Structure 1
């Protein structure tokens, strides 16, 4: 999938630390909200998770901080699918200052698809895998 907007919000004063910029805990929170919007776009909706007894769990997350975000800044996160495995999915998020267009941070995350009752990873069903993979094919075609 091409990078799509998966989060828009504002940096509030209470999200800033003693140095005056947005604290790292809020980057994680905003990237998490982007995860849920991105997953829903891929067909992994809240209804799907509720009805199927499935869930997702982050197993690896890497954040690179590029520029400060200050109270009042408008934040936009764009996300794209990097990889779909049998039981896992990998995404890349880019957080930007919506006014300046500058990249504030990037986040690469790997999440596993899990059976909530067994508390174990489980394979995606063929239909879900096909839907998600179709978004990956769009990304690969755009790069080629």
Structure 2
């Protein structure tokens, strides 16, 4: 398994709810931002996937909220890709304050859809491995 990829984000005021906490849906946006940043870090752009005729799809997401976040807090959003034998993969994302306090854990199941056939690609890890300049970022 690869070391977690991490991106730092500052919580913005407009992302908070009426109690001043980071809105629940924004955690998914942070996880998505970390995944796309990880892809770019490995050398894969969105255009590369589209040119290959595939697109990432989210099949499942689970969020565990552990500690509140407020406007101005800085967080490191880590993500790790976990590969199996089938058509899907897991992405484990941890949202952590810079002091190390874990604020949330987001676990997602995804796949790569063949955009022509509208079906999941049999082994998405192979596609990431072929497209990436550094597949080690994904633990491949």
Tell me which interval the TM-score lies in, with the shorter structure as reference length: 0.7 to 0.9
C-alpha spacing 1:129/1:33, structure 2 compared with 1 (3 Å) = closer
* Unpaired runs of at least 5, structure 2: none
* Cα distance change on mapping 1:126 and 1:68 into 2, 3 Å: closer
Change in 2 beyond 3 A, CA 1:83/1:63? same
Counterparts in 2 of 1:1-144, with a 5 A limit?
1-5=2-6, 7-42=7-42, 44-98=44-98, 100-124=99-123, 127-128=126-127, 130=129, 135-136=138-139
RMSD over aligned CA atoms reads: 2.4
* Residue-pair matches, total: 135
8 Å contact kept, 1:84–1:129 = no
Shift of 1:38: 2.5
Return 115-124 or 16-25, whichever deviates more: 115-124
The list of structure 1 runs, each at least 4 consecutive aligned residues, that deviate by more than 4 angstroms after superposition, is: 41-44, 129-135
Decide which moves more: 118-127 or 71-80: 118-127
Normalised by the length of structure 2, the TM-score is: 0.82
TM-score by length of structure 1 reads 0.80
Shift, 1:26, TM fit: 0.9
Report Cα offsets for 1:19-43 as digits up to 9, x if no partner.
Answer: 1110011111111111212334456
